[in-house]
Amino acid sequence: MSNPAKEFGKIYDKHVEKIYRFVYLKVNSIETAQDLTSEVFLRGWESFKKKGKEIDNMSAFLYQIARNLVTDHYRTKAQAILVSTDSAPTIPDIGTSLEEMAMIHSDVDRIKAVLANIRDEYREVIVWYYLDEFSVPEIAKILNKSEEAVRVLIHRALKALKAELGEV
Amino acid sequence: MNDKELIGKIKELRSVKPSQDWVSFTKNRILTEEKFGYQEQDASVFSVFRYKLALAPLLGVFVVIGLFGFAQSTIPGDFFFSVKKMTETVQVGLTSIAEKPKVQLQLANRRLEELSRIAESNRTGNLAPAIEEFQASVAEAARDLAAMGNVTSSDQIVLKELIEESRKLSEGKERVESVLGTKIGDTGELETALGSLEKKTAEYLIEDLENRTLSEGYQEKLEEAKENFDAGDYQEALFKLWQIHNH
């Protein structure tokens, strides 16, 4: 590689928004999403320097790092005794402040809140298929599943989302 | 909601994006750290020291640039927010007198965006300083607006941009107040200064256009604008007058 930093810079530019969104829609906190996304690209850069062109699918590679980091993040949080405001539920309980209730008032906000709480693989395929516009074969590669399995997963994910929104 | 509608709503989540300041800062941090970090292949102690000493000043420059870059994503109450304020003060200082009110309004809108971010992320510790900063920026904008002298034809584009920024500010303020459930400041002084400027501008344009030969259509529009002016609706009068003036 003639200039790995420049090449990785292009990879960063291409993927940073998508990876950030992927992480944010799970953790629902700007600071946590920024921290985890930075870590994704730091680790991606480490691997890129060592393996470079050997990484067949950089997109899938970065998403895999992101998935692992989000899982680790929640594993660490589950062990913590104190609950910060970041991990507070976005669906407000009775007595939630006016600002939280106002934040949930729109359909899109409801979808955002529900997405953070549905099964990880359902949320992931919804993000990849509808937001990032990955094709079924691309998603199948990331998940190491058959294309048919991915189509079924997308269908079930949408159904689960509707059920959570109370739309079934 | 049917599937199509739900998918449409899901796609609206594409608006979830990181701040560009954070994106730039993070990219710089990741790639710069590695450029100037310790190289594992070179195990000699002395070469490590030489390497680091030689690059220290350059590293210092990058740290400062990185700090300024990072500071752009801070919000009132954050440790490095003062760095951001410093760069904004310099920006205002370099602006011409005619453009100063517009720049001040843009800064007030920036404070509003920060307030909006604070509301979204529930960072209640930053709320009070952010509201204070917003009120201060609005007061500055009002002062600069009031200080604007006589209106001339070359100010028209600046004035249009000013009114757009002011409209954006009013709408943004209403939105943030409805989310927070509380007033975040009084923009009465700003509105008075803007109203006065709109009136002066409309007077200037009416006088200018009355001295021109206009087509029948534009003459009618001018009469409508004068009626708006007499009724105190200076903004509406201005929009009509600009349509004729820019012909």
pLDDT by residue, tens only, chain B of 247 residues: 788 888 988 998 998 899 988 999 999 888 876 544 444 444 444 455 555 556 667 776 667 667 766 777 788 877 778 778 877 877 777 777 667 788 888 888 888 888 888 877 777 778 888 888 888 888 888 888 777 765 555 566 677 777 778 878 888 888 888 777 777 877 777 778 778 888 888 888 898 888 888 888 889 999 999 999 998 888 888 888 888 887 6
Please provide the CATH number assigned to the domain covering A89-168: 1.10.10.10
CA B128 to chain A, closest CA, distance in angstroms equals 15
B207-215 CB contacts, 8 Å cutoff, 24+ apart: B208/B153, B208/B245, B209/B241, B209/B244, B209/B245, B214/B244
Distance between CA A105 and CA B42 in Å, rounded? 58
Inter-residue contact B159 to B151 (CB < 8 Å):
yes
Per-residue pLDDT for A73 more than 50?
yes
| Contacts B22 to A, Cβ<8 Å | 34
CB contact under 8 A, B119 and A24: no
Inter-residue contact B212 to B204 (CB < 8 Å):
no
| Contacts A126 to B, Cβ<8 Å | 10
Determine contact: B31 vs chain A, CB below 8 A. Answer: yes
| Contacts B14 to A, Cβ<8 Å | 21, 131
Instruction: Count CB pairs under 8 A between chains A and B.
Output: 100
CA B11 to chain A, closest CA, distance in angstroms equals 6
Inter-residue contact B234 to B226 (CB < 8 Å):
no
Q: Which fold has domain A1-86?
A: Rna Polymerase Sigma Factor; Chain: A (1.10.1740)
Regarding an ipTM greater than 0.85, the answer is no
Distance between CA B241 and CA B209 in Å, rounded? 8
**Residue A29 contacts by C-beta under 8 Å, 6 or more apart in sequence?**
A86, B121
The predicted structure's pLDDT at residue B175: 81
- CATH code 1.10.1740 region(s) in chain A: 1-86
Distance between CA A111 and CA A126 in Å, rounded? 11
CB contact under 8 A, A98 and B27: no
Distance between CA B133 and CA B155 in Å, rounded? 28
Determine contact: B183 vs chain A, CB below 8 A. Answer: no
CA A79 to chain B, closest CA, distance in angstroms equals 23
Q: What is the DSSP letter of B148?
A: -
| Contacts B124 to A, Cβ<8 Å | 85
Domain ranges of chain B: 81-245
Distance between CA B196 and CA B95 in Å, rounded? 22
Helices (H), chain B: 3-11, 20-35, 45-71, 81-93, 100-121, 127-146, 156-180, 188-210, 216-230, 234-245
Neighbours of B4 (CB within 10 A): 8
Determine contact: B27 vs chain A, CB below 8 A. Answer: yes
Give me the mean pLDDT over the A12-19 stretch.
95
What is the chain B residue with the closest CA to A25? B16
On the 0-12 / 13-18 / 19+ scale of CB atoms within 10 A, A109 is middle
Backbone Cα Rg of chain A:
17
